Copies of this chain bind each other. A is one copy, B any other.
Amino acid sequence: MQTSTRDRIVVATARLLQRQGYVGTGIKQIATESQATLGSIYHFFPGGKEAVAVAAIRHGEQEFAALLKEALDSEPDPAEAVMSCTRDLAAGLKESGWVDGCPVTAAALETLGADSELQKACADALNGWERLVLDKLLGCGFPADDARELATTVISAIEGAEVTAQVNRSEEPLLAAGRQLARLVRSYGIDPPRR
């Protein structure tokens, strides 16, 4: 067997959470989609549905972090880097038929009231991504305070633009957000590091 059963469960769950949220995703659907059985799922995740979801969210976080990191590293200028990021996201979103959005937003919104492990995993994901942007900005010479506020804004705006793009089935909201965020970043008048 190529991939382990456990990995198949996590990956399939991550995709399902992304598309239909936490409550909308059933354990039995996960079993079918991952070609595993209920027995296997409860063997690897004695914590049940929530434990599977937490693992899937963490997987989604890393996957998205990799995409983000690659886009940020591809351009020395942070403004260009942000646009590269929204371009990649827009392309991926369109390719999936507008269903593969942010891997954590849907799950996060459904589990806000109960401060569960799942909710914590979602918060960790958002903060992790924010840190990637923050580091990029700091590396470009932005003052710490400006960089922090910009980083949270960039992640929030991308997050929101992705939802808007999905709902309208259009790349435009993401691309527009990318351009405006680039303008915002440039407005600080900090020269990109030459290499």
Task: List A residues at the B interface (Cβ < 8 Å).
Answer: 19-21, 23-24, 98-99, 101, 105-106, 108-110, 112-113, 119, 122-123, 126-127, 149-150, 152-153, 155-164, 166-168, 172-173, 176-177, 179-181, 183-184, 187
Interface of A is mostly: helix
Copies in the complex: 2
Please tell me if the beta carbons of B155 and A164 are within 8 angstroms of each other in the complex: yes
Other A-B contacts than A109-B163, A153-B157, 6 sampled, CB-CB below 8 A, are A21-B21, A106-B110, A152-B164, A155-B164, A156-B161, A183-B184
Residue in B23, B106, B160, B168 whose beta carbon sits within 8 Å of that of A160 in the complex: B160
Residues of B within 8 A of A172 (CB): 152
Residues of B within 8 A of A98 (CB): 112
Q: How far is the CA of A126 from the CA of B168 in the complex (A)?
A: 9
Residue in B23, B105, B176 whose beta carbon sits within 8 Å of that of A153 in the complex: B176
